[in-house]
Amino acid sequence: MTTTNTPSAITGEESTLWTARLRRRFFGGLPPERLLPDSQPAYVASWIYVFGVLTIAALIIIIISGVALTFEGPLWWHESDVGHFVNSVHFWSVQLFFFSMAIHLWGKFWMAAWRGGRSKTWMTGVLAFLASIGTGFTGYLVQTNFDSQWIASEAKDGLNSVGIGAWFNVLDVGQALLLHVAALPLIVGAITIVHVLQVRRRGVVPPMGFEPSEEAGS
Amino acid sequence: MNALMILASDLTGPGTYIKIPLTPIQISVGNLIVIVTMLVTFVLAILIPFPGRKETN
């Protein structure tokens, strides 16, 4: 580690340490005033822009209620009124999550929101959508009721037909539970953070025909 | 409408399905209501003015 009190210390823009390079790379494209802005362009004042934030709000409720469910296990909601309530909060926040995410997706699709160098924003949104479908699917598999048995027995044929049944065995409740509470939520959360950072970095896409001159034609 | 809401909100019983004639499309009433609601919400989100928005040229 380079110290700052030695005459030969290399700091700031000249340092080649990985920490300095990472700092320059992160804050170079995302200075604090862009990361946490206090104003937005006038065109953002539209209800269609609300649904992305609503999706994140629903995701926060999903994570909080999901963490609460992990303490008592997948059978809790069958035998406790409190468990049933927490499970219902979890379930309905997932419905709100997908409801608002689909409207957010439609809005961004018809805006061609990948314009102006925003392809990474669009692609991380696509990945978040796909990972969310997997997370929602494994959630249905761990309901521990006849519904989850039916879904698993039907889905196994589809997954086997595309050759992934050996790795993703939907009849294995333990695998589905761990995927649902650990691996997939981490992936969804990480992609969502990258997606939001991309939105902050590139800004909200302007309406067609109103692009700044440096974005026009990109 | 009331009957549709009952069909859509009963999550414990068997589902009610609609088959579109001459097509292979079959959909549950609950899913159909959710999709129509999403489409209506999408259109309203575009059309309804946002509070406090200043109209500019």
Chain B residues inside the 8 Å CB shell of A47: 44-46, 48, 50
Whether A139 and A190 share a structural domain:
yes
Both tokens assigned to A100: 């608002």
Has residue B52 been placed in a domain?
no
Looking at the structure, tell me whether residues A66 and A92 fall in a common domain. Answer: yes
Look up the domain containing B33 and give its range. Answer: 2-47
Directed axis angle between helix A119-141 and helix A184-202, to 10°? Answer: 160
H helices present in B1-57, as ranges: 2-9, 29-47
The reply to whether A16 falls in a domain is no
Judge: A103–B41 Cβ closer than 8 Å, yes or no.
yes
| Six token digits for residue B40 | 């209506």
Question: What is the reported pLDDT for A14?
Answer: 75
Chain A residues at the B interface, defined by Cβ less than 8 Å, are 42, 45-48, 50-51, 95, 99, 102-103, 106-107
Whether A198 and A126 share a structural domain: yes
CB contact under 8 A, A42 and B44: no
Per CB-CB distance under 8 Å, the chain A contacts of B34 are 95, 99
* Distance between CA atoms of residues B13 and B39, nearest Å: 26
The tens digit of pLDDT for each residue in A3-25 reads: 555 555 566 667 889 999 988 88
Q: Give chain B's domain count.
A: 1
Look up the ipTM and state it. 0.77
Query: Is A81 within the bounds of a domain?
Result: yes
Number of domains in chain A: 2
Same domain, A89 and A146: no
pLDDT for B5-55, tens place per residue? Answer: 665 556 667 778 999 889 999 999 988 999 999 999 999 999 999 887 665
Q: Say what the pTM is.
A: 0.84
Tell me the residue range of the domain where A80 lies: 45-111
